A and B are shown apart, each in its own frame.
Chain A
Amino acid sequence: MNSLWPITVATLNKDVRLEWRSKDAINSMLFFSLLVVVIFSFSFDPLAEESRHIVGGLIWVAFLFAAVVALNQTWARELRNQVLDAYRVSPAPANALFLAKAVGNFLFVSLLELLMTPLFIIFYNLRPLGPAWQLVPIAALGTWALVVNGTFFAAISLRTRSREIMLPLLLFPISIPAIIGMVEATTVLLTGESSARFWIVLLLTYDVVFTTACLALFEAILHAE
């Protein structure tokens, strides 16, 4: 157990450095969500007052799809040169690897959100009518909800045929409560109609439940043979 943190930090460090040098995941996510922003703008009048009710959903759908792009690359990198097999036979705790990957994805997707949100505000002329600071905990909890399960399911879909398409098929149904939570919380803040407290509690519960489940089951998944 005492080797958990050093190994987590080392793996995270390696992943962040790899991403910093290649910028594969962040570039594809950014361009992908930019495309979503532009294409969605044709499906309704983006500057109308009513679009306030839709944009919360739209932002999260864009981030969700973009996150899948990054999540799919999480483990693919470790397949080259049999890194994952090496990890399997090493005495390093499986959860250290999982935590490093999940935190890494969390950082990448958060960075994406940080860069994309101003663009959404400009393109859709957004001005939150509720307490805007609450968007920060909502984004953090929502992103973790997507990323923790996404990292886990990416490890599952790694073992299947056509793994790129398998990840969203597994991730989306399980993520429905989290997506409802993120979308509704954001909409409530944009429209300022009611409080987002229930949704923050829901997201927090979702995060706690599934982080525990991932940590409890990841070892079985990693060593599944």
Chain B
Amino acid sequence: MKRLFPILAVLTALLLVFALYQALVVAPTERTMGDVQRIFYYHVPSAWTAFLLFLVNLVASVVYLVKRNPIADALAVVSAEVGVVFCTVVLVTGPIWARPVWGIWWTWDIRLTSTLVLWLIYVSYLMLRRFSDSAQTPVLAAALAIFGALDVPLVYFSIWYFRTQHPQPVIGGGGSIDPRMLRVLMINWMAFLCFAFLMCWSRYRLETLHREVEEAEALETLLDVR
């Protein structure tokens, strides 16, 4: 298993370079937006990866609450952390693209706002994990993760109705996408998924090591007291 990690790391690096070349050179230039549209190949795959990781977090949390399996809890931490990183990438690349195209950095539109709220929910999840360093943390965090997931559809509907009440800038929704662009998008998504998997893997190893150290320390204290 340990030997597999560097091999996968090299493969991911190669795939990322190939995806970068595809996005910057091979993909056709968008007619109205120009080259700035190429940020799309980072923005969208990051968003999909983040949502996938949040889904993993939910499943792991439910599994933990039912089975009390420490591996599920470790997976929940890892997926939430890496998910927040990718969600941050989405929230940063979005305004960079929006400024030249829409003329504003940010608009309180449904997709932007709900992604921001999702990010807030998972940051609060990570804060909870950080602020409660005890044996109870996994249960508390798992409960919060389920609350967060239940909240997502409600957030979406409330903002959808809230914002359709008001005028908003027109967003390039709908329409069709050039098949070449779609291909590049998919290559980038594959690269990002491999990268996310790699990050999750190394973070998972770190988490298990961390737990082993904690256990050893606890054991040592017990022996000392005796």
Contacts and interface: CB of A to CB of B under 8 A. Distances in A.
A176 B147 CA distance: 12
A162 interface: yes
Interface stretch (A6-14, A67-75, A94-102, A216-224): A216-224
Among A174, A205, A220, find the residue whose CB has the most chain B CB atoms closer than 10 A: A174
B162 A156 contact: no
Contacts of A213: 146-147, 150
Interface stretch (B42-50, B52-60, B132-140): B132-140
A21 interface: no
Contacts, number: 92
Interface stretch (B26-34, B117-125, B214-222): B117-125
B62 to A, nearest CB: 11
B146 A217 contact: yes
A205 B157 CA distance: 11
Nearest to B131: A160
Contacts of A178: 154
A189 B150 CA distance: 28
A224 B161 contact: no
A174 B157 contact: no
Main secondary structure of the interface of B (DSSP, over half): helix
Contacts of B155: 176-177
Q: Chain B: interface residue count, which band?
A: 20 to 34
B212 interface: no
Contact of B144 (A156, A177, A209, A210): A156
Contacts of A149: 147
Contacts of B159: 177, 180
Contacts of A161: 131-133
Contacts of A224: 136, 139-140
A220 B121 contact: no
Contacts of B124: 169-170, 172-174
A206 B134 CA distance: 31
B147 A174 contact: yes
B83 interface: no
Contacts of A225: 135-136
A177 B136 CA distance: 28
Given A161-B132, A202-B157, A221 B127 contact: no
B158 A169 contact: no
A19 to B, nearest CB: 27
Contact of A177 (B134, B139, B140, B151): B151
Nearest to B118: A173
A169 B127 contact: yes
Nearest to A181: B158
A214 to B, nearest CB: 9
B14 to A, nearest CB: 39
Contact of A198 (B65, B148, B161): B161
Contacts of B136: 159, 224-225
Contacts of B158: 176-177, 180-181, 202
Contacts of A209: 150, 154
Contacts of B165: 184, 194
B134 A159 contact: yes
Contacts of A153: 144
Among B139, B140, B157, B159, find the residue whose CB has the most chain A CB atoms closer than 10 A: B140
A126 interface: no
Contact of B154 (A173, A205, A217, A220): A205
Minimum-distance CB pairs A-B, first 8: A224-B139, A160-B132, A177-B154, A177-B158, A224-B136, A173-B120, A160-B131, A180-B158
Given A194-B165, A217-B143, 13 more contacts: A161-B131, A173-B120, A174-B124, A174-B147, A174-B148, A174-B151, A176-B151, A177-B157, A177-B158, A205-B154, A206-B154, A209-B150, A213-B150
20 contacts: A153-B144, A156-B143, A159-B140, A160-B131, A161-B133, A169-B124, A177-B158, A178-B154, A181-B158, A194-B165, A205-B154, A209-B154, A217-B65, A220-B65, A220-B139, A221-B139, A221-B140, A224-B140, A225-B135, A225-B136
Interface of B: 65, 117, 120-121, 123-124, 127-128, 131-136, 139-140, 143-144, 146-148, 150-151, 154-155, 157-159, 161-162, 165
